[in-house]
Amino acid sequence: MRSGFLIIDKAPGTRSSQCVALVKRALGGKERVGHGGTLDQPASGVLALLIGRATRASRFVMMLPKVYLAVARLGLRTDTDDLSGAVISEEDTGLVSEESIDRALFSLYGHRDQTPPAFSAVKVKGRRAHAMAREGLDVPLSARPALVTSIGRTGPIMAGRDVPLRIVCRQGTYVRSIVRDLGETLGCGASVLSLRRESLGPFAAPDALPSGDLATADASTLEGRILPFSSLSGSFTYYQASLADEGTIASGSPLSLGKLARRGWGGHGTGGYILIFGKAMVSFARVVHEDGVYLVRPVTNIILEGP
């Protein structure tokens, strides 16, 4: 079984952990299976599963930009910031115009501090926030950095209160929090009516395997859909290493950047990391400037061949 990325189109109501478990079972329980960022249970769309040695690339896949299609229901506050939770309040939205919505959306663009939903996987004093919230405990969540690189309506208000949105954001940004903050800016509250992740970096929903097919999928079917590490080459600036330099990198030692052959520029600004391909390994690395020389320092090496 080769290592790589298996892209799933998760259905609403299916847990991300269910997809991981089904794939692991189909592969005979012998392969490591991880993910590159979960989706809320009510949400649908792209879920990147990491197979075998690709599980070591999890943190880098999570850095990739995410594109979401969401519908925000104005005038509704819930304890989960979506329709799965208990209703806190409902308000009239008759005075909310599309112009005021567009102004409020503009205020949510860019770098900002965002408070995660109480029902989220964020850890508070060693415990998941959602576990504390379900026990009725107070969840003291602090605001944390978020980045929204694009946000806007995709159409007019529907049914007088539902706003279709397209949002492009980075790791750590919660769409439920964006919608909640949109509602508070408008003064009427808001919750997520529906949410779909259209893409995660180069991985897009039209190319994904529907999660409903996982229950009957066998190992050969899944193996045929596993994408190689080179599928990330459009997201990171990437280089090719010679066999000799590959050995230096594999040992964790720094290498002069000038010894590597650049093959492409990344388009996603992935945290300052570059990707280096060798014959038998892939390395996620950083470029540093020391004593007048640009050096490559390996951060995570993934050996593709051997034990």
pLDDT-derived band at 116, boundaries 50, 70, 90: confident
pLDDT in tens, 185-198: 999 999 999 999 99
Looking at the structure, tell me whether residues 77 and 42 fall in a common domain.
no
For the chain, the average pLDDT equals 92
Task: Decide which of 94 and 277 is more confident.
Answer: 277
Q: Where are the beta strands (DSSP E) in the chain?
A: 4-10, 33-35, 44-51, 66-74, 76-78, 87-90, 110-114, 123-124, 127-128, 144-153, 162-169, 190-200, 203-204, 209-210, 238-240, 255-256, 261-264, 273-277, 281-290, 293-303
Among 230, 248, 278, the domain-final residue is 230
Looking at the structure, tell me whether residues 247 and 295 fall in a common domain.
yes
Looking at the structure, tell me whether residues 79 and 137 fall in a common domain.
yes
Here the CATH number for the domain that contains residue 170 is: 3.30.2350.10
Q: What pLDDT shows up at residue 152?
A: 98
Q: Where are the beta strands (DSSP E) in 132-221?
A: 144-153, 162-169, 190-200, 203-204, 209-210
- Angle between helices 98-107 and 175-186 in degrees, nearest 10: 130
pLDDT in tens, 118-165: 877 777 767 777 777 776 777 777 889 999 999 999 999 999 999 999
Q: Residue 196's closest CA among 45, 27, 95, 14?
A: 45
For the chain, the domain total comes to 3
pLDDT in tens, 35-76: 999 999 999 999 999 999 999 999 999 999 999 999 999 999
CA-based diameter of the chain, in Å?
A: 68
pLDDT in tens, 257-280: 999 999 998 765 567 899 999 999
What percentage of residues in the chain have a pLDDT greater than 70?
97
Positions annotated as catalytic residues are 40
- Which neighbouring-strand residues pair with 110? 148
Q: Whole-angstrom Cα distance, residue 265 to residue 239?
A: 9
Q: Whole-angstrom Cα distance, residue 281 to residue 266?
A: 19
**Has residue 306 got a pLDDT over 70?**
no
Q: Where are the alpha helices (DSSP H) in the chain?
A: 16-26, 58-62, 98-107, 129-134, 175-186, 219-223, 243-250
Looking at the structure, tell me whether residues 193 and 209 fall in a common domain.
no
Looking at the structure, tell me whether residues 171 and 263 fall in a common domain.
no
Among 178, 200, 222, the domain-final residue is 200
Looking at the structure, tell me whether residues 246 and 289 fall in a common domain.
yes
Half-sphere exposure of residue 39: CA atoms within 13 angstroms, side-chain side: 33
Looking at the structure, tell me whether residues 207 and 246 fall in a common domain.
no
Looking at the structure, tell me whether residues 94 and 160 fall in a common domain.
yes
Looking at the structure, tell me whether residues 72 and 141 fall in a common domain.
yes
Please give the DSSP secondary-structure letter assigned to residue 82. Answer: B
For residue 260, what are the contacts with CB-CB under 8 A and spacing of at least 6? 239, 240, 241, 245, 276, 296
Provide the residue range defining the domain that includes 92. 66-200
User: Could you tell me the CA-to-CA distances from 205 to 18, 30, 154, 233 in Å, in that order?
Assistant: 18, 27, 18, 19
Q: Residues 206-229: what's their mean pLDDT?
A: 96
Half-sphere exposure of residue 135: CA atoms within 13 angstroms, side-chain side: 9
Looking at the structure, tell me whether residues 168 and 251 fall in a common domain.
no
Looking at the structure, tell me whether residues 132 and 80 fall in a common domain.
yes
The two structure tokens encoding residue 274: 């570059």
Q: Residues 208-217: what's their mean pLDDT?
A: 97
Q: What pLDDT shows up at residue 268?
A: 57
3-state secondary structure of 301: strand
Q: Residue 247's closest CA among 275, 286, 278?
A: 278
Q: Residues 280-300: what's their mean pLDDT?
A: 94
Q: What pLDDT shows up at residue 131?
A: 75
Looking at the structure, tell me whether residues 183 and 195 fall in a common domain.
yes
Here the CATH number for the domain that contains residue 256 is: 2.30.130
